[in-house]
Amino acid sequence: MTDQGKWKRSAWRGLMLRLQKSSYISKTLRRRILNAIGADIHPTSVVNHSCWLGSADIVMGPDSSINCYAFYDGEARLTIDAGVQVAVHAIFITASHRVSSDPDRRSSATGDFEQPITVGKGSWLGARCTVLPGVTIAPGCVIGAGAVISEDTAPNGLYLSQAIQGGPVRARRAREL
């Protein structure tokens, strides 16, 4: 494929990613648009309007949904298993920068990395939660509103943001469900 052909294909995908955000198109048409440009969304799953999707590198199992205003940066694959419910304003970040003591770390082109995110069967993600690169949320987990998930979770856990005295707010396993 020529460079111009690649550009047209890329521009087409970008246009379709923006079009799918519209609240004026049906959920069925939105799913069809996303599947046409490379996503793998099951016919019983829903991506609601106003979601910001950086790419169509998404796999959704049956009976899953992503609610309005969710954000996915699109740098690596996002896999959502069957029965997953994602609340409004959820954030999926699949790319980041390595942190080191090098004072030039911000200008280093080699410091970037992308890692996929997987959300296990039957999990629920609360409003405004953030899932960071490389995280696997185990089946049956409930992630509380506003939680930041930076490492893999254990199955059937309830994860809430908890402030530790003198430290950062982190998602901690509160109990098993």
Nearest residue to 51 via CA among 33, 71, 32: 71
Q: What angle do CA 126, 128, 132 make, to 5 degrees?
A: 95
25: Cβ–Cβ under 8 A, 6 or more apart, which residues? 19, 33, 49
pLDDT tens sequence across 77-93 = 999 999 999 999 999 99
> pTM for the whole thing?
0.85
Quote the CA–CA distance of 163 and 154 in Å, as a whole number.
20
Quote the CA–CA distance of 35 and 43 in Å, as a whole number.
10
Structure tokens at 160: 């809430």
The set of catalytic residues is 97
pLDDT tens sequence across 51-108 = 999 999 999 999 999 999 999 999 999 999 999 999 999 999 999 877 666 666 665 5
The correct CATH number of 3-176 out of 2.10.70.10, 2.120.10.30, 2.160.10.10, 3.40.50.720 is 2.160.10.10
Structure tokens at 128: 């405004």
